Chain A
Amino acid sequence: EAGVTQFPSHSVIEKGQTVTLRCDPISGHDNLYWYRRVMGKEIKFLLHFVKESKQDESGMPNNRFLAERTGGTYSTLKVQPAELEDSGVYFCASTRRQGGDEQFFGPGTRLTVL
Chain B
Amino acid sequence: EDQVTQSPEALRLQEGESSSLNCSYTVSGLRGLFWYRQDPGKGPEFLFTLYSAGEEKEKERLKATLTKKESFLHITAPKPEDSATYLCAVQAASGGSYIPTFGRGTSLIVHP
Contacts and interface: CB of A to CB of B under 8 A. Distances in A.
B97 A42 contact: no
Contacts of A103: 44, 46, 100
A106 B101 CA distance: 18
A72 interface: no
A102 B49 contact: yes
Interface in B87-105: 87, 89, 91, 97-105
The size bracket of the interface on B is 20 to 34
- Tell me if B's interface is mostly helix, strand, loop or mixed: strand
A91 B89 CA distance: 15
A91 B45 CA distance: 12
B41 A42 contact: no
Interface in A37-68: 40-45, 48, 55-56, 58-59
A105 B49 contact: no
A98 B98 contact: yes
Given A101-B32, A101-B34, A101-B49, A45 B43 contact: no
Contact of B43 (A4, A55, A59): A4
Nearest to A91: B43
B4 interface: yes
A104 interface: yes
Given A102-B49, A103-B46, A107-B43, A45 B99 contact: yes
A93 interface: yes
B105 to A, nearest CB: 8
Nearest to B45: A105
B46 A104 contact: yes
Interface of B: 4, 31-32, 34, 36, 41-46, 49, 87, 89, 91, 97-105
